[in-house]
Amino acid sequence: QAAEKGGFEHFMMKEIHEQPKAARDTIGHYIVDEAINLSDISTQIAQLDGIEQIYIVACGSAYHVGIAAQYIIEDFAGVPVRVDLASEFRYRKPLLKKSDLVIVISQSGETADSLAALRLAVDQEIPTLAIVNVLGSSIAREAGDVLYTYAGPEIAVATTKAYSTQLLICYVLAVEWGLAKGRISDEEYHRLIKEIESLPAKMDRTLEDKERIQWFASKFANAHDMFFIGRGIDYAISMEGSLKMKEISYVHSEAYAAGELKHGTISLIEDGTLTVGILTQPDLYEKTISNMVEVKSRGGYIMGLTSYGNYNVEDTAHFTVYIPKTDPHFATSLAIIPLQLMGYYVSVSKGLDVDKPRNLAKSVTVE
Ligand code: G6P
């Protein structure tokens, strides 16, 4: 097994480090000669022909990809997106129409709730698109169209590289749809493609900071609670960062839309409670900073996660992690890496079974 782990102590760490390669492989498949290539799927979906509403349905981390994707798709393509947990979607009698597109995101392609949600749409002859990692899996076989992620096999229960490749496919779709809808100019299209292609190298750079995160995480190994806050796409990042922390480190953590803190959660802040403020969205930067100030004034310990250049975050945060600059729509791909590392290192500091956390399964094939 040591060989399978490629010199890393755990599969999760190996897979965290495989993200730049998984990203390159996925991008290489869908961006060819500086243009997006969606020849694997029908032109109707590739061009969003006649589609007026998109549903993204998934579980766990794949659902968090959907949360990030909704902001990006709405921004670029101007088509409304609703994101649903598969376990909710399948029982809430969704009002589907022929002009809808249902996207199911799943690493394994076997998650029972996601499969049931897909079948519900297929039975009503609604166009469906699956974003799946495992070739020939049930969701891949049953969906009308499928786009594969090229993450390779993922062993650790907590997903990292599959999540990252799912995001990339959503970026590619959003940019292509933006062009198809005439909301993105040719020039902007090429700029965004270059930006997507630059992400793997920036992921590599983000990984170089891991020792600093290890040191910081070890200080919080005994934490009882943590909060992750952000707005917009930063809220989506918060949700995945928080999930990573709780699933492998057993630390109670919550993600909150930063503006919602004052409606209850702020009462939980005590002296030293760690709150991670995520600030990758320039338009929302000041707003989230002011929420971080509110937490700090109640004794909270503040970590800031933002792009290089935003150095005034240090006026508020006790500890800051910087990520390379990118288009804000794509920031999740970089910001998630320090949060995956934090979850990992807290788990290791506590001596837990990182790759096989208690009570969790890699793929939940029963309801
Ligand atoms: C399990 C895994 C999660 C994953 C979720 C959805 O809970 O532990 O990491 O996000 O299932 O799995 P899927 O295979 O559908 O992406």
Could you read off the pLDDT of 279-289 as tens digits, one per residue? 999 999 999 99
- What is the C-alpha to C-alpha distance for residues 361 and 162, in angstroms, rounded to an integer? 15
pLDDT tens column, 340-354: 999 999 999 999 888
Closest ligand 1 atom, residue 60 Cα: 10
Distance 192 CA to ligand 1 centre (A): 29
Q: Helices 199-207 and 19-30 meet at what angle, rounded to 10?
A: 180
- Residue 356 CA to ligand 1 center (angstroms) comes to 13
Q: What is the number of other CB atoms lying within 10 angstroms of the CB of residue 355?
A: 20
The answer to whether residue 97 is catalytic is no
pLDDT at 271: 87
Atom of ligand 1 nearest to the CA of 139: 15
pLDDT of the residue at 291: 95
Q: What is the pLDDT of residue 287?
A: 96
Give residue-wise pLDDT tens across range 179-238: 999 999 999 999 999 999 999 999 999 999 999 999 999 999 999 999 999 999 999 999
User: Tell me, what's the pLDDT at 62?
Assistant: 98
CB 333 within 8 A of CB 300: no
pTM for the structure as a whole: 0.96
- Contact assessment for residue 243 and residue 337, using Cβ atoms and an 8 Å cutoff: no
Nearest CA to ligand 1 atom 8: 362
Segments in the chain below pLDDT 50:
none
Complex-level ipTM: 0.95
Å from CA of 60 to ligand 1 middle: 5
Strand partners, 148: 132
**How would you classify the pairing of strands 31-32 and 35-36?**
antiparallel
Residues within 6 Å of ligand 1 by CB: 59-62, 106-108, 111, 114, 157-159, 360, 362-364
Q: Quote the ligand 1 centre to 61 CA distance (angstroms).
A: 6
SS (H, E, C) the chain: CCCCCCCCCCHHHHHHHCHHHHHHHHHHHHEECCEECCCCCCHHHHCCCCCCEEEEEECHHHHHHHHHHHHHHHHHHCCCEEEEEHHHHCCCCCCCCCCEEEEEEECCCCCHHHHHHHHHHHHCCCCEEEEECCCCCHHHHHCCEEEECCCCCCCCCCCCHHHHHHHHHHHHHHHHHHHHCCCCCHHHHHHHHHHHHCHHHHHHHHHCCHHHHHHHHHHCCCCCEEEEEECCHHHHHHHHHHHHHHHHHCCEEEEEEHHHHHHCHHHHCCCCCEEEEEECCHHHHHHHHHHHHHHHCCCCEEEEEEECCCHHHHHCCCEEEEECCCCHHHCHHHHHHHHHHHHHHHHHHCCCCCCCCCCCCCCCCCC
Pocket of ligand 1, candidates 12, 59, 154: which has the most ligand atoms within 8 Å of its Cβ, to mutate? 59
Per-residue model confidence (pLDDT) at position 261: 87
| Pair type for strands 100-106 and 128-132 | parallel
Which of 106, 111, 137, when mutated, tests ligand 1's pocket best, judged by the most ligand atoms within 8 Å of its CB? 111
**Model pLDDT, residue 357:** 86
Of 57, 87, 157, 362, which is best to mutate to test ligand 1, by the most ligand atoms within 8 angstroms of its C-beta?
362
| Burial of 349 per CB tally in 10 Å (0-12, 13-18, 19+) | middle
The pLDDT of residue 361 is 84
Contact 332/237 with Cβ under 8 angstroms? yes
Which residue CA neighbors atom 2 of ligand 1 most closely? 362
For residue 31, the CA-to-ligand 1 centroid distance in Å is 27
